[in-house]
Structures are given as C-alpha cells and as structure tokens.
Structure 1
Amino acid sequence: MKTQTVKFFLALQLISLFLITSCQGDDSKEVTNNPDLENAQLKSFPLSEVAYLDIKITHPEIVNGEEKKYGEIEITIPRTHTSLMLSLKQFNLDNNKYSIFPAIGEQQDFSKGSVTYTISSNFDKNKSVHYNVKVVAEAGSVNLNTKITGFSFEKSKNPFLESTINAVKIIEYENYSENAIYILVPVGTDFSKLTPTIAFDAAKLYYSSGTEFKLYTSNTMEVDFKYPKRFYLQAENSNGTKSKIYNVIVDVKDPVKFEQLPVITPNVKSGDGTATQFLPAVVKWTNQGNHPVRGMAVESYKNKTFPFDYTGDANTITAILSNPVGGTDGVLPGEKGDVNITVRKMPVAGKYKTTAVFAPTFNFNNHTIHNWPVTERVEGIFNTVELSIESTISE
C-alpha cells in the first residue's frame, strides 16, 4: 500500500513539472512575438501616385532598444509629375507586429518639406521609430534664361485662320516690369477663341488671365484675348530667382475703317482764303480692332489737287478722327467714330481734292490706339490708312 502511494505522488509531480514547463514554453513564445525596434526598418517607400526614380534610405539609430535619431528617406520622382500630394502605397513590414502613421493611402503635402512617418509596435505603443520622408523632382539641366522666343497662332490649332500667324514684335522694355508681345490677326477673327503656340528659353513658363500665375504646361490651351481681357506670360529661370513678364497684345493690321471712299463734302462758299468752314461728322469710321481708338490727327496729306496751278504745300482740306461718345477712352472695338473736316474758303471756285494719311500707333502704357509718335512703349505696328476727300468751293 505504501509503495503504491509513493508511485502515485511521483506520477503527480511529473505531471506538474510537465505542465509548468509547457506554460513556460507558451510564455517564452509570447515574448518572442513582441518585436524589437531594430527590426522596424523600411526597405522601400512606394508611392500610390507615381513610380519613383530613385530612393535613399538611412535607418533610425537604435541604442539599447531606444531610438536616438530619426531615419531619413529621400525619394526622387520625375519632373513631369508636378503634384506633391502623395501617399504611401505599401507597408513592407509585418502588419501583425507593426503599424505606420500616416497610414497607407493617406495623401500628404510634400511641397512643404519632409513628412514624418512613425512606425509603432502593436504590442507596446510606446515603442516606435520614425522616418523623415522627403520628395524631390529629378534634376534637370540648369537654365538661367528668362525669354519668350516665339509666339504664333498656328493654323492647325486655329482652323479658321488662312495660315499660321507669327508675332510681329517681341520686345523687352528696359526699366519696366512688363514686356510685350504683339501679334496681328485678320479682321473678323474671334479674339476670344485663339490657341497660341509659345516658344521660350527658360526653365518654366507661367500664364495669367487675371489675378494669379499658373504653370503653362500645354500649347493647346484656348485663350480669350478679347478686350478688355489681358493675357500675361512669365518666363522663369531654373533657380526661381529671375523672371520676366510679357503682356500679349492681339489686334488687327487695320483698326480704322472708313464707311465710304472718297468722301465728298457739302459745297463751301468761296472767300478770301483766311476763313474756314467746319464740317462735323461728314462720314463715319469704324474701330474694327481689339483696343480703343482715341481721336486721331492726320500724319500727312498727299495727292492735293487745286482748280488752278499751285506749287506750294498749303492744305485747303484737313480732317480729324473724333470720338462722338463722351466719357469713353476712345472709340471702343466695334463702335463708330466721326470724321470731322475743315475746308478753307478759297477765292477760286472749283473742285479741291486731298488724301489724308493716318498712322495709328499702339500705346502700351494705356493700351489704346492713337497717333502718338513712335517711341519707348509706343509701337508703330499698324498699317497707315488713307482717306480721299473732295470738296467743291462755289461762288
């Protein structure tokens, strides 16, 4: 009986020892599932929005299980991908052991600098490592120039044009903040629907139709050039330290059109040659261009004919273009103005003739057309226009 009791207790101790060992084995297994920070390392950082060209990874410094210095990741993406709102596409660690924040798919703004990503242990949230992630565009060739070199309306992009039209003048005005591009289109062109082709010697090109400049990325963009709209281009160098702004002026070669030619005035009574007869609004003229036309004096007279032999240079007939609408800065596009004529009461009766030559110029300072002398920021880009006038002086 005593022997059986001893055997029973020995067996019971063996079972207890086995259970204790088994429990210890389970505890040991649970401990090994608790990952250490040395293994919390990112081997890559794929992006959801774009495939990167290069990546450089420096892992965090861990001393005695504690993070002493953040890791660094620098990602290079193509220059053609302009948006820096990017997100992590894939996390290459065991999701049962580790988690990352910001999470997969959450877009971050890398244009403001590095974004810090935190990798934490799922078993102990106090244990974590960090990576400062920076995204940069691939390096391109350095361009220190800031020039617009070409501007045109190609027929292929503007099918209503008979042929491709190039700018008549691209000019930089020294000591001014704005430069100019002048391009002249046929009469009747819809100024609101033109697609330009732009060539430039610069790192970047921006455009503005109003308050802010945006990156110009396509030569297929339709632009509204119709007065009073304005269109600006800004050419910038690689360093972003220098730029030039160009204002694009679109108009026609012949902004002034007379309703009838020649103009025949009412008869004027003869006199002693000192008095004159003022004849207002003898005929109308139309502004068929794209900018206001101010009142315009004659540049010169030619083809002068008298009813007697005369070799001098006197002007019996003179003319001026005027704006009949008060309060406006010139005759607006599509509207009409007056031709006012003055006839000198000559002592010899008969028919007098002359041709008035008008030479419109564009004033960049106020974006109007007038007959200012060509000088800095006043451009003689238009054709001259002629008005034939006949007047009969009767006794």
Structure 2
Amino acid sequence: MRTPFRSKQFFLYYILLGAVLFAGCSSDDTEENIDNVFWSEAKLNDFPLSEVAYLDIDIVHPEITNGVETRFGKIEITIPHSQTSLMLSLKQFNLDNNKYQISPLPGESQDFSLDPVTYTISSTTSQTKAVHYDVTVVYGGEPFFTNAKITGFKFEKSKNPALAATIEAVKIAEYENYTENAIYVIVPEGTNFSQLTPTITYDAALIRYTIDNDFILYPANGLAVDFTYPKHFYLQAENSLGSKSRVYNVIVDVANPIRFDSPIVTEEVATGDGVAIEDFFAIATWTNQGNHPITGMVPGEYKDKTYPIPNYPGNANVITASLTNPTGGTMGVLPGEKGEINVRVKRSQIAGVYTTTAVFAPTFSFDTRRISYWPPDDRIEDVFALQTLTIQTTLAD
C-alpha cells in the first residue's frame, strides 16, 4: 500500500520540529549545567602562602542566590609572629587553570598589613561569572622576639617584706664588645643580701639563670636569690629562635660601702718649714659595710678646708689622707672587715687649727668585682655615693 504524498510531508515536518525543540532544550540545559558547575566548583578550599606556613585558616565561601553572588567569601589566615613582613602572596591556585583564573595571580605579593585583600575567581570563558574572597592575615601563636635583653630589674617590697620600699636597678649595662653584661642594684645598708627575690622584665622569648654552671629556665613566679659575695647570679635572655642570647651578671651593693666611725682629730703637730711631713699611720679604721671587696684608695678631692688665718697662702692641702688594707694584699678589705686610715700633715709655719674633708669617689670594676677609685671607664661604673671624712689637726710652735 502506498503512503499518500501529503502524509509523508506531515511526518517529516513533525520529525524536524521535534529535533528543533530537542536541540533548544539541550542547549538550555547545558548552559544551566555549566552555571551550576561554576558556582559549585569556583571555591577556594585552601590558601597556602609562599612566604610562611600558616598556623590556622578559616574559610567562608561566597553566597550565591539564583546564579548571582550576593555576598563575598571571607578567608582569615593566622600566621606566626616570626613572619614579620605582611607582604605576602598566594603560593598556588588549586583549580583547573583551563576553566578558572584568579586575580591577583599566585606569586604576586600583596600588602596585608592594612585592609583585606580581595581575590577574584572568574571563568576563563566568561568574565561575567566571578566570585570573590576577602583575605585577611592575622598573627597568632606564641609572640616572637627578635631581641634577647633584660629591660627591667627590681626588688619589689611585696616580694621582699624586709625592704622599706621597692628598689629599682640603677643601671642595666650593655657591654656590646663583651660576652657578659651587668645589672647594678643599690639597696639600703643592712639589707640581707642572701634573701632577695627579683622581679625581671625582658624583651626576649625567655630567660634562664644560674648560680653555678648550667643555665636553667627562670621560674615564672621568681625565686629568692643569695647575692652575697663571692656568689654570682647570672641571667641569660634568649630570642625566639634560640640563635641569640645575652648574659647579665647581677651586682647588688649599698650606696655607701665605706663607713667612717667619726671625724678624726690628730695629735698636735709642731710647726715647721712647710715641707716636712708628720705621718699618722693607722690613726683610725674604716669598715666595709658593702657587699664586695674594697681596695685602698685616696680622695678625689679635699673640700671645706679651714685655716688659722684668712687667705692662707696657696690654699694648700695641709692635711691629706688615704685608705689602706691592713694586710697590704691586693684583694682588698672584704665585706664586714676593717681597713686603716693614714693621715699626713704638712708642718706649716703658721700655728693654729686646720681642718679638711676628704672626698672619696668609689667605683665598681666589673672585671675584678672590686670597689676602688678608678675613674669611670669601660666596665668601671660610678654607682656609689661620695664618701666623706673630716680631719682636724692643730699645729703649735
């Protein structure tokens, strides 16, 4: 049986119409699928940095509503304090580079020190499809210290009930050309040097201490320390990398290490030609009331001189004095021991009463751990008060 020609035409028409309709539906479905894949895959699930490994990362993805980005994503990256520069870059982009691109590019340094840096992920085939992440970098973990130094040292009254008030270090000396530095603390006379608890502040990752040979971690609550000579108390400050350290020796003493019992009045001296000398050896004693040996010394000046007549010629030192060690040794007078005072009187031609005040200026030598009268210099510190001794003598015909 033969199919009529018109029937064949209708049959072909419906086939073509179906094909067109099917093609149209397929195109729409494909475009919609592409959109869905972009919104679901264009995500940053990590943000490694080129310059430093992060400690933590928090990622909130962008919000998409009906194929439109309604809120940017957010990434907060926590890095250690050791990374001091916030000029950072994305290390790698982990999406398919044939489909997705990111800006700024991996390896391009950005300044994260002020505001978040916005990163944009877009389609390589359509610039209208894009999502964004605001990336912020913050510090976390243990603080990082590049320095290794002691910044403060004191004996707080709350930790040292025997003290009348808190005592601050008078000097923290940085001896840059030496392996040891020094902390000088001046306490009141009569302080028990063997039971003092310091409070220490520092610009360092940690501090260690030793009273023997090995440095151990200084306890957070502090500890009572015996500073009595000849014991040594050392502190060592270290930076976060352990690559730098600075050692300090703590020196504790009193402002007036020399005690004179009373003014000295010599025996009567005969007048003379102004050249002859009358010596009074060991006429009196002095006491080391400090915490370190004191060597013999002479005054740095004489003041408040009085003479039997006005305008005494030449304003000369008729009376001079010196402090000596009774044993003559080089170590000096030890804490609690006594030294001797020698006085010399020039036999002036003018009779009468003469007085003078000898002014001693003790200094501390870090190298020898002794008190003497060296002028302040490299590791010789002027941390003591001036010590004065008044002497009187009478010249008679």
Q: Please, what TM-score do these two structures have when normalized by structure 2?
A: 0.64
Instruction: Tell me, in whole angstroms, the C-alpha distance in 1 between the residues paired with 2:287 and 2:258.
Output: 6
Within the candidate set 352, 356, 360, 1:358 is matched to 360
The residue that corresponds to 2:309 in the other structure is: 308
Q: CA deviation at 1:140?
A: 1.7
Secondary structure of 2:291 counterpart: coil
Within the candidate set 254, 257, 263, 1:255 is matched to 257
Instruction: Tell me, in whole angstroms, the C-alpha distance in 2 between the residues paired with 1:300 and 1:317.
Output: 12
Instruction: Tell me, in whole angstroms, the C-alpha distance in 1 between the residues paired with 2:220 and 2:192.
Output: 21
The residue that corresponds to 1:379 in the other structure is: 381
Instruction: Tell me, in whole angstroms, the C-alpha distance in 1 between the residues paired with 2:181 and 2:191.
Output: 24
Q: CA deviation at 1:226?
A: 0.1
The residue that corresponds to 1:222 in the other structure is: 224
Instruction: Tell me, in whole angstroms, the C-alpha distance in 1 between the residues paired with 2:362 and 2:313.
Output: 29
Note if contact 1:195-1:219 (Cα within 8 Å) is conserved in structure 2.
Answer: no
Q: CA deviation at 1:356?
A: 0.5
Note if contact 2:258-2:286 (Cα within 8 Å) is conserved in structure 1.
Answer: yes
Letter in 2 for 1:173: Y
The residue that corresponds to 1:169 in the other structure is: 171
Letter in 2 for 1:307: P
Aligned counterparts, 1:203-218, within 5 A: 203-218=205-220
Secondary structure of 1:283 counterpart: strand
Root-mean-square deviation (Å): 1.6
Q: CA deviation at 1:213?
A: 0.4
Aligned counterparts, 1:135-150, within 5 A: 139-150=141-152
Within the candidate set 151, 160, 176, 2:153 is matched to 151
Indicate whether 1:202 and 2:204 are aligned.
yes
Letter in 2 for 1:283: A
The residue that corresponds to 2:52 in the other structure is: none
The residue that corresponds to 2:271 in the other structure is: 270
Note if contact 2:295-2:330 (Cα within 8 Å) is conserved in structure 1.
Answer: no
Q: CA deviation at 1:268?
A: 1.1
Instruction: Tell me, in whole angstroms, the C-alpha distance in 1 between the residues paired with 2:329 and 2:361.
Output: 24
Letter in 2 for 1:157: K
Note if contact 1:179-1:246 (Cα within 8 Å) is conserved in structure 2.
Answer: yes
Secondary structure of 2:229 counterpart: coil
Indicate whether 1:287 and 2:288 are aligned.
yes
Question: May I ask how many residue pairs the two structures share in their alignment?
Answer: 259
Secondary structure of 1:393 counterpart: strand
Structure 1 unaligned regions, length at least 5: 1-53, 55-137
Instruction: Tell me, in whole angstroms, the C-alpha distance in 2 between the residues paired with 1:313 and 1:292.
Output: 35
Instruction: Tell me, in whole angstroms, the C-alpha distance in 2 between the residues paired with 1:218 and 1:184.
Output: 24
The residue that corresponds to 2:191 in the other structure is: 189
Secondary structure of 2:202 counterpart: strand
**Deviation sequence 1:254-276 (CA, Å, 0-9, x none):** 0000011x210111111100110
Aligned counterparts, 1:12-161, within 5 A: 139-161=141-163
Q: Please, what TM-score do these two structures have when normalized by structure 1?
A: 0.64
Letter in 1 for 2:351: A
Within the candidate set 318, 343, 355, 2:320 is matched to 318
Percentage identity across paired residues of the two chains: 56
Letter in 2 for 1:332: L
Q: CA deviation at 1:218?
A: 2.6
Secondary structure of 2:235 counterpart: strand
Aligned counterparts, 1:238-249, within 5 A: 238-249=240-251
The residue that corresponds to 2:180 in the other structure is: 178
Q: CA deviation at 1:311?
A: 5.4
The residue that corresponds to 2:297 in the other structure is: 296
**Deviation sequence 1:361-391 (CA, Å, 0-9, x none):** 0011100000100111011100001111000
Letter in 2 for 1:285: W
The residue that corresponds to 2:396 in the other structure is: 394
Q: CA deviation at 1:328?
A: 5.4
Structure 2 unaligned regions, length at least 5: 1-55, 57-139
Note if contact 2:271-2:348 (Cα within 8 Å) is conserved in structure 1.
Answer: yes
Letter in 2 for 1:292: P
Secondary structure of 1:296 counterpart: coil
Instruction: Tell me, in whole angstroms, the C-alpha distance in 2 between the residues paired with 1:349 and 1:381.
Output: 41
Instruction: Tell me, in whole angstroms, the C-alpha distance in 2 between the residues paired with 1:268 and 1:231.
Output: 50
**Deviation sequence 1:274-299 (CA, Å, 0-9, x none):** 11011011111100000000001101
Letter in 2 for 1:300: E
Q: CA deviation at 1:220?
A: 2.9
Instruction: Tell me, in whole angstroms, the C-alpha distance in 1 between the residues paired with 2:330 and 2:297.
Output: 15
Note if contact 1:196-1:219 (Cα within 8 Å) is conserved in structure 2.
Answer: no
Letter in 2 for 1:252: V
Note if contact 1:305-1:354 (Cα within 8 Å) is conserved in structure 2.
Answer: yes
Note if contact 1:292-1:333 (Cα within 8 Å) is conserved in structure 2.
Answer: yes
Letter in 1 for 2:199: T
Note if contact 1:351-1:393 (Cα within 8 Å) is conserved in structure 2.
Answer: yes
Instruction: Tell me, in whole angstroms, the C-alpha distance in 1 between the residues paired with 2:314 and 2:172.
Output: 42
Indicate whether 1:349 and 2:342 are aligned.
no
Task: Choose 1 or 2 for highest CA Rg.
Answer: 2
The residue that corresponds to 2:331 in the other structure is: 329
